[in-house]
Amino acid sequence: MDIALALAWIRALAAAVERHRDELTALDTAIGDGDHGANLSRGFTAVTAALDAPDAPEPATVGAVLTRTGTILLSKVGGASGPLYGSAFRAMGATLDGPTATPAELADALAAGLAALRDLGGAVPGDKTVVDAWTPAVAAFRAAAPAGLAAAAAAAADAAERGAEDTVPLQARKGRASYLGPRSIGHRDPGAASTALIFRALADATHS
């Protein structure tokens, strides 16, 4: 991955958030407070505006793109997802300090993002959160990394989508959905669904 591809990833993700905004809202209306689509839309609109600003500093490393993304998400997105995704992007950015990153280095960065999510939110796999999509995605990315970035990103996106789908039968044990108890069963977790967008955007950006 180079800096241009990191920027393309974030731009593809911002576009995906807009395309799926209503779907994320609907998922969060079922088991939360209905703001997940709006939260991420506000955040990624601010991210693209900052990246495209005429006076935006030229990023010197892959990590700078991701750190900047995380910082803006932290400042613009309230609720659970802003601090979670903000911290994950900043953690990824902190590990990528060169102008390019190998697939193995990106696997380490994605793992650092997952560690940040888990540290901040305290969720473990099976709690029906972002962690349920992010965990299999990191494992799939790492396993496929020797085959190259495109293969690893595609495998991670598929795994994240399966992980999000696999949250449907789970009862939420973290976040707002946990207040519903067994009534959270039967719905896809909105954060797991948006995590699948993060990995699909990486795969799409890698291909184009």
Q: Given the complex with ligand ADP, which of 48 and 129 has the nearer CB atom?
A: 129
* Cα atoms in the 13 Å half-sphere on the side-chain side of 95: 21
Instruction: Compute φ and ψ for 2, nearest 5 degrees.
Output: -115, -175
CA-CA distance, 173 to 54, in Å (whole number)? 44
Using CB under 5 A, which of 2, 22, 33, 52 touches Mg ion? Answer: 33
3-state secondary structure at position 79: coil
Q: Given the complex with ligand ADP, which of 68 and 76 has the nearer CB atom?
A: 76
Interface with ligand ADP: number of residues (CB under 6 A)? 24
Alpha helices (runs of H) in 20-61, residue ranges in sequence order: 21-31, 36-52
Q: Which of residues 15-44 bind ligand ADP (CB under 6 A)?
A: 28, 32-33, 35-36, 39
Q: Given the complex with Mg ion, which of 65 and 130 has the nearer CB atom?
A: 130
Is residue 115 within 8 Å of 126, Cβ to Cβ?
Answer: no
Using CB under 6 A, which of 122, 146, 169, 186 touches ligand ADP? Answer: 122
Q: Which of residues 144-173 bind ligand ADP (CB under 6 A)?
A: none
If one asks whether residue 192 binds ligand ADP (CB under 6 A), the answer comes out as: yes
3-state secondary structure at position 14: helix
Chain contacts with Mg ion (rule: CB under 5 A) = 28, 32-33, 35-36, 79
